[in-house]
Amino acid sequence: MAAGLPLLRRVIAVDAAISRFLHTLFHPYFPTALLLLLEISADFRFSFPICLALLFSPLSPALLPLFSPLLFGLLLDLAVVGLTKAIFRRQRPPYNHSSMSAVVAVDKFSFPSGHSTRVFFVASLVSLSGTAIEAALLELKAGGGLAEQWIVGGDEGRVVEIVAIGVFAWAAITASSRVFLGRHFFLDVVAGVCLGVLEGLVAFRFLRFENFLR
């Protein structure tokens, strides 16, 4: 164990150096307002109420195979990230300015990045739920209205692809912004991305309670 400590310290030092370099390089080129907007979009206190609202929307019956694992997966993410941060207790970068924040931080720990886990959990779940989303689009299209006007012919699959690409783009930009904004170190984000994808797989496989929510 003791032999591994120097290697761990070196990894942490390299991570800190890379993170500061990326923050210094990219932060001037990204408007702070945009970075803060991305921060808000991935905050649990913003995403969870939206998920609850979607459950009561007209889209809910058709998209329950997506909304149910999304709802319970967000709760799983909150618990897993909170527990992991409590175990590792890594401090945030010294150049992180908590006063320049769109949201009130609920903790001072950095590893892993909760925003990164959350956005990649959502992106992974949306990608895995492509069949359910396509079925929902067909159902909405059959009901007429705007869906029938927007989706022509058999373009439902194409729409699902565009949605998935858009969500993954949002996830990648948001995760990167955590380093650019100085909220997290690079490895915090990498760990968050991996954990988020794993959460998406778990939620898709084990947290589909749409029959219970109907």
- Where in the sequence numbering do the catalytic residues fall? 115, 184
77 burial type by CB count under 10 A (0-12 exposed, 13-18 middle, 19+ buried): buried
Is the distance from CB of 119 to CB of 171 less than 8 angstroms? yes
CA atoms within 13 A on the CB side of 202: 16
Enumerate the β-bridge partners of residue 169: none
For residue 77, CA distances in Å to 108, 119, 157, 159, 170 come to 17, 10, 29, 28, 18
For 49, the token pair is 């109420």
CA dihedral angle for residue 75, residue 78, residue 82, residue 84, rounded to 10 degrees: 90
8 Å CB contact between 116 and 192: yes
Rounded to 10 degrees, the C-alpha dihedral 140/146/151/154 comes to: 40
